[in-house]
Amino acid sequence: MDHAFTETQPMLSADLLRRFDVPGPRYTSYPTADRFVEAFKHDDYVGALQQRAEGAMVGGKKPLSLYVHIPFCESVCYYCACNKVITKHHERAQEYLDALEAEVGMHVALLGNQQSVTQLHLGGGSPTFLSDDELARLMALLKTSFRIVPGAEVSIEVDPRTVSPQRLRHFRDIGFNRISFGVQDFDPDVQKAVHRVQPYDSVRELMVSARELGYESINVDLIYGLPKQHPESFSQTVRQVAELRPDRIALYAYAHLPLRFKPQRRIDSADLPTAAERIAMLSGALSGFIGHGYTYIGMDHFALPNDALAAAKRQGRLHRNFQGYSTQPDCDLIGLGVSSIGRMGATYSQNAKTLPEYYDAIRQGIFPIVRGLALSRDDLLRRAVIMAIMCQGRLEFESIELAHLIKVPEYFRAELASLAPYVEMGLVVQEPGAIQVTAQGWFFVRAVAMLFDRHLQADKARERFSRII
């Protein structure tokens, strides 16, 4: 079935955008990570790994994905909410790589050597804090411990200030075939305000080199709502990015939470754009990228029509994982390194968030798991529902009912009733035995999914999340 949505200019009124300018989860998982509990520890994770090793997971053995978190950065970006360690002492990377090697070894001891991996992602912090030799060491470790299958997606997040065309060639040589550049904004005043100066010309040179080197996919990350941004300046960044023609674009809303994220305290709140300006920036970016020929994938993702992600959307094959929208089917995910999140069978887990705590666990020979969750039957059911809405924009009752042995109209009576305003706004169509998100509704798909989030509806604690548009 073709699930294509209209790819014309989005007809989104400012009033509609304002109405949905509220916080909400990104649903890279369900339940969301804020629901993890500290009672889930090493032994629970070992049990999940053993189940996988024994092939006892529900639905059989899923493909395997790897995420490696490199926390180090040389300088702080004031908007950043990632788990990071700011240091110019590059020698600290050696101790971290030693710990990663030990953590990988613990996984291999339980799962066996050369488990097939279809997806590998290095994130941070800044993975390019590592030297070329250190990255080569890390990739060699992963290749000797796991089998990176032909055609696997092997990606790395890049701080453009830390690389050169020569380094990009080295990344290709050691196995990376996808690359993501953190740009955020090209406006010099905005870059100074967030302490991340990287001229347009230098990023353009890197993107030209990446294309010449044959990277299969080039992504650019942008953020709207930063200090000193305004609709006119951001529209210039949108034009510049569109002219560079990255295969994919991720457009995130800045969440100003200075009480939670210390670097954000260096941002003067008086410099932040107003709500009306933020909405104008979002509307302009949506129109701008679609007008330049990009497919709107959903939420904060765009892709060129010939990109695998755009094809997956057209064909109803989108998936979501902790990196966002993906072409990969549901994977068991091993998270390696400080603060990494993993998914194993019907469990989620997260590593220690500080280096001392992470290192201490590794020295003891135990997994550095500090919290996680064993999903209940209701969690698994709602995860299936929310992912169907988030990825296909359509919920077929029959498939859910057969897989989970419930009756959707009975189990979700209150949730289905709460869809009425969305139907009136033309965002959702309720069919016999199905819910269909409309082309306009796709821009607000998080809001539709939120109606089926039992935890969120129970406590309405949305302040912890970014805004849904």
User: What residues form the annotated binding site for [4Fe-4S] cluster?
Assistant: 73, 77, 80
Binding-site residue set for S-adenosyl-L-methionine: 67, 79-81, 124, 157, 184, 196, 221, 255, 341
Residue type, 423: V
Q: What's the CA gap between 287 and 284, in Å, rounded?
A: 5
The answer to whether the beta carbons of residues 221 and 252 sit under 8 Å apart is yes
Dihedral angle over CA of 225, 227, 230, 235, nearest 10: -70
List, in order, residues 6 or more apart from 404 with CB less than 8 Å away.
Answer: 377, 380, 381, 384
Residue type, 310: A
The answer to whether the beta carbons of residues 4 and 314 sit under 8 Å apart is yes
Q: Which of 68, 206, 177, 197 is nearest to 124 (CA)?
A: 68
3-state helix, strand, coil in the chain (%, to 5): 40, 20, 35
Dihedral angle over CA of 372, 376, 378, 382, nearest 10: 40
Half-sphere exposure of 381 (CA within 13 A, CB side): 18
Angle at 452 between CA 449 and CA 429, to 5 degrees: 60
The answer to whether the beta carbons of residues 147 and 116 sit under 8 Å apart is yes
For residue 185, give both structure tokens: 């904004």
Exposure class string for 206-244: b at 16+ Cβ within 10 A, else e:
bbebbeebebebbbbbbbbbbbbbbbebbbebbebbbeb
Binding-site residue set: 67, 73, 77, 79-81, 124, 157, 184, 196, 221, 255, 341
DSSP 379-429: HHHHHHHHHHHHHHSEEEHHHHHHHHT--HHHHTHHHHHTTHHHHHTTSEE
Q: Counting every residue, how long is the chain? A: 469
DSSP 52-73: HHTT-STTSPPPEEEEEEE-EE
Residue carrying the six token digits 């804020």? 34
